[in-house]
Each structure stands twice: as structure tokens, then as C-alpha cells.
């Protein structure tokens, strides 16, 4: 079962939407968002409530195909380690969006960065996913360069409206087969 940790230090929106796109590119996937969002009011369970109450059998595997989203509440990756391991066993694909690099063992980290001149973005060791911007970059970065999203594609993805499949989401499929560390 593929389990990836998505980390976007320079662009919170790119990290959040990227996690959903990576999940949609997998087909059936659970996206766990551990990035704190004080304005969010979850409508269902969160990682924090599941850790406190224990998971149900239904939460440990998909009920249908598609992307499911689980907000973190106020749980950290360390507090959620056992739950994330259990989810990784039951789901065909798992994406954990977390603000730092403190992800439990077994999760490969995928840095996601805007494609801007190197001095203007966080330096990473090894490959990354790059989102082209208005900047022209002569560099051929190590990793995956995404397509530019079509009009409306990001809004549909953020609202989880079907169809979420567009050229930007399709460009995320390469991330699943890339040899991340």
C-alpha cells in the first residue's frame, strides 16, 4: 500500500490542494491533513477524535471508491502514528499532509515547491514536486514538474466536486511511482 507524506513549506494552498490532487490521482485514497487550520470546523471525525476514541472498523478501510478526507483536528503526526499505520494497511493509498518532516516511519516524504528561482524557495535534499509559476525557470529540477491547472480545476478539487479529474490532477499520477526517500 503506498503511503506518502506531502510537505509544502513554501505554499500552504499548494500543499492542501496538492494532497487532494495526489489522492485523486491514486483513485481510491484517504487524505489525512495534519496541517493546523484554526478556521476549520470539522463536520465529522478528526484524527484527534479517532485517536482519543479508537478507530472503528469502517474508518480503517474505504467504504467506496474515490477520495476521502480526514482533518487532523489538533493531532500531531507523533500522536497519530499508530492510527496512520493502521490506515495505511486498510486503504489502497494514503496521503498525509503535514507541516513538517515529523512523519512516522514508513512514509516517504514528497516535498512540493513552487517552481521559482532556487534562492526564493526552500532548499531540499533530493527530488521534489514542482508547480510552475509565472516565473520563467531555465532549470530542470530533480523530480516531477506538474502541469498548470485548467480554469475551474482547483475550485472543483477544493470542493471535492466531480469531476475532479483534469490535467493538473493527472500530472500528479507520476508522483506515486517516483522513487521518493
* CB-based contact 80:153 (threshold 8 Å): no
First to last CA, the chain: 16
Q: How confident is the model at residue 101 (pLDDT cuts 50, 70, 90)?
A: low
Cα(34)–Cα(96) distance, integer angstroms? 7
CA dihedral for 150, 153, 155, 157, sign (positive or negative): negative
Average of per-residue pLDDT across 61-77? 89
Cα–Cα nearest to 105, from 126, 77, 127: 77
Average of per-residue pLDDT across 53-81? 90
Tell how strand 128-132 and strand 108-115 pair up. parallel
39 pLDDT above the threshold of 70: no
pTM recorded for the entire structure? 0.91
pLDDT at 156: 83
Higher per-residue confidence, 164 vs 179: 179
Q: How confident is the model at residue 141 (pLDDT cuts 50, 70, 90)?
A: confident
89 pLDDT above the threshold of 90: yes
25 pLDDT above the threshold of 70: yes
pLDDT at 147: 94
* Enclosing H/E stretch for 71: strand 67-71
Average pLDDT for the chain: 88
Looking at mean pLDDT, say which of 24-28, 100-104, 177-181 comes out highest. 24-28
140 pLDDT above the threshold of 80: no
pLDDT at 63: 86
Amino acid at each position: 500500500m503506498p503511503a506518502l507524506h506531502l510537505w509544502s513549506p513554501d505554499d500552504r494552498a499548494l500543499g492542501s490542494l496538492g494532497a487532494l490532487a495526489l489522492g485523486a490521482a491514486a483513485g481510491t485514497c484517504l487524505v489525512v491533513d495534519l496541517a493546523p487550520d484554526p478556521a476549520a470546523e470539522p463536520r465529522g471525525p478528526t484524527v484527534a477524535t479517532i485517536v482519543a476514541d479508537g478507530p472503528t472498523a469502517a474508518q480503517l478501510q474505504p467504504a467506496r471508491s474515490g477520495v476521502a478526507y480526514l482533518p487532523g483536528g489538533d493531532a500531531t503526526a507523533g500522536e497519530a502514528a499508530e492510527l496512520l499505520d493502521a490506515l495505511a494497511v486498510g486503504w489502497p493509498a494514503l496521503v498525509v499532509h503535514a507541516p513538517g518532516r515529523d512523519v512516522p516511519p514508513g512514509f516517504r516524504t514528497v516535498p512540493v515547491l513552487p517552481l521559482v528561482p532556487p534562492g526564493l524557495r526552500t532548499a531540499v535534499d533530493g527530488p521534489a514536486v514542482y508547480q510552475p509559476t509565472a516565473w520563467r525557470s531555465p532549470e530542470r529540477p530533480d523530480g516531477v514538474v506538474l502541469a498548470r491547472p485548467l480554469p475551474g480545476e482547483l475550485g472543483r478539487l477544493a470542493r471535492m466536486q466531480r469531476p475532479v479529474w483534469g490535467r493538473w490532477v493527472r500530472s500528479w499520477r507520476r508522483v506515486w511511482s517516483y522513487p521518493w526517500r
